[in-house]
Amino acid sequence: MAPRKTPQVTRNPDLVRGIGKYSRSQMYHKRGLWAIKAKNGGVFPKHAPKAKAAVSAEKPPKFYPADDVKKPLPNKRKPKPTKLRDSVTLGTVLIILAGRFKGKRVVFLKQLTSGLLLVTGPFKINGVPLRRVNQSYVIATSTKVDISGVNVEKFDDKYFGKKAEKKTKKGEGNFFEAEKEGENALPQEKKDDQKSVDAQLIKSIECVPELKAYLGARFSLKDGMKPHELVF
């Protein structure tokens, strides 16, 4: 049914819980049942009962399990999308803390539907390509890069997923050769995507003095630096 346009108001307010203000006869009058009857010639209108759908005969099951097994409770939980930390906004410089690029300072582009952060070096500056990174393995600095000219609409989790492998016929002789061929060179399309995203970014990075060198350098803890006291 379509949602109500006006909120539902009771015609019979409660005096005390369980006791309404109006009696049965008063409510009969208020609901206008007398008017409905009058319209219908003194009788309350009856609608023909809806035709019941024919119930298909259920066959008795072929197999009854020996013991009654408890059915697990239905789980209708839908995980919420990962909450982006307040410090992580578009164009924030992030410090990656783990993995191949640990310590690299990198520009945040957008949050993907899986919750992972889409990030780029830019590649020319520090060798980090368009990549996904988990929010937990990242420190957000307060430095921001102007990201307005960059179009990241086309990137989503599928773009970064593993390509479905073609099934090769199993044969011992072919096995080693097939593995060598399987080493994928990066498709030209991905290289072009990287270049187009980085072109705009690098322009806005070069506007800020020393930002390029900053992004090219790795972060490390030095003597006397206390992470809990550092302002990022």
Partner 1 sequence: MPFKRYVEIGRVALVNYGKDYGKLVVIVDVIDQNRALVDAPDMVRGQMNFKRLSLTDIKIEINRVPNKKALIEAMEKADVKNKWEKSSWGRRLTVQKRRASLNDFDRFKLMLAKIKKAGIVRQELAKLKKETA
What are the residues binding partner 1 (CB under 8 A)? 93, 95, 105, 141-143, 210-211, 213-214, 217, 219, 229-232
Q: Shortest gap between Cβ of 219 and partner 1 (angstroms)?
A: 7
Least distance between partner 1 and beta carbon 163 (Å): 37
Cβ nearer to partner 1, comparing 27 with 97: 97
Inter-CA distances, 166 with 161, 163, 172, 179, 182, Å: 15, 9, 17, 12, 10
For the sheet containing 105-111, what is the strand order? 131-133, 117-120, 105-111, 92-96, 138-144
Closest approach, Cβ 102 to partner 1, in A, equals 15
* Residue with Cβ nearer partner 1 (58 or 223): 223
Whole-angstrom distance, CA of residue 29 vs CA of residue 47? 22
Angle subtended at Cα 110 by Cα 104 and Cα 111, rounded to the nearest 5 degrees: 100
**Which residue number, 36 or 217, has a Cβ lying nearer to partner 1?**
217
CB of 213 to partner 1, least distance (A): 7
Cis peptide before 79 (omega within 30 of 0): no
